[in-house]
Amino acid sequence: MTQRATRLLHLLDELRRRRKPVRGAQLAERLGVSLRTVYRDIDALRGQGADIAGDPGIGYQLRAGFLLPQMMFSAEELEAIVLGTRWVASHADPELAAAANAALERVTGVLPETLRLQVETSALFAPKWHAVKPEPWLPTLRRAIRAGNTVRIQYRDAAGQSSERVIWPFAMAFLSEVRLLAAWCEMRGDFRHFRADRLVALEDTAQRYPAQRHQLLKRWRAQCITDA
């Protein structure tokens, strides 16, 4: 990545972090460049499709929905994208694995030749050493988490005891050999963790649970810190 491209990337990151307009002088100080360079770089970003509102003396703000233009990834960021998508492709359920491969192909397709070659010849791999059969309801669980729906499950614990309960799934961890689901359990009236491979049956009720997912995440994290 050239010095100018790196500078544009840093400017874009600064604008993306801001919720309110920021003056050009503040950006210049933050990035260690001249005010004239900031104005010139903002014009360059606009020319590449960035929807940046504002003018000199008023301030600038990046409107939501902007997609990264070509060459806006550093070498380390590209390696992270390649390794991350390859890990998902080899460890997730087939539906998510296919989405990971499609996403990497889409990113690669818009890169200039030099960066595309860097991705295609990347030596970073994430093989799955132990065969883990993907649980058939992982796609249903992911959609329920995304929609904020309650799920009715039949679950068998480590001792082999089976129970039926309604849960509010809000997070899932893809560990190397286990998929761990975090949810609010209506039966227990508390947070519980469930191994996806111990689910005997699962049904998405298509009913929204009476809480915001980000609120459940916040409460769950606070409880995990307290219990640690």
**pLDDT tens string 175-217:** 877 889 999 999 999 999 999 999 999 999 999 999 999 999 9
Domain check: are 116 and 144 in the same one? Answer: no
Residue of 102, 19, 114 whose CA lies nearest to 73: 114
Report the range of poorest mean pLDDT among 36-40, 73-77, 88-92: 73-77
Residue 27 lies in a domain: yes
Domain check: are 34 and 101 in the same one? Answer: no
Residue 223 lies in a domain: yes
Residue of 205, 190, 225 whose CA lies nearest to 141: 205
The distance in angstroms from the start CA to the end CA of the chain is 43
Domain check: are 172 and 201 in the same one? Answer: yes
Domain check: are 223 and 142 in the same one? Answer: yes
CATH number at residue 18: 1.10.10.10
Residue 101 lies in a domain: yes
Domain check: are 149 and 220 in the same one? Answer: yes
Domain check: are 96 and 160 in the same one? Answer: no
Domain check: are 58 and 83 in the same one? Answer: no
**pLDDT tens string 29-48:** 999 999 999 999 999 988 88
Residue 133 lies in a domain: no
Residue 128 lies in a domain: no
Domains in the chain, number = 3
Cα angle 181, 228, 87; round to 5: 40
What is the reported pTM?
A: 0.68
Residue 80, pLDDT score: 93
Report the range of poorest mean pLDDT among 8-12, 15-19, 73-77, 128-132: 128-132
Domain check: are 143 and 202 in the same one? Answer: yes
Instruction: Show the domain range for 218.
Output: 138-227
- Strands 199-208 and 179-185, by their bridges, are unpaired
Report the run of H or E that residue 61 belongs to, with start and end: strand 59-62
What is the number of H-type helices and E-type strands within the chain? 8, 7
57: left (phi over 0), alpha (psi -120 to 50) or beta: left
Residue 132 lies in a domain: no
H helix intervals, 48-191:
75-91, 94-109, 113-120, 138-147
Q: At which residue do the structure tokens 């049956």 appear?
A: 201
Residue of 150, 156, 170 whose CA lies nearest to 219: 170
Residue 127 lies in a domain: no
Residue 41 lies in a domain: yes
Domain check: are 143 and 223 in the same one? Answer: yes
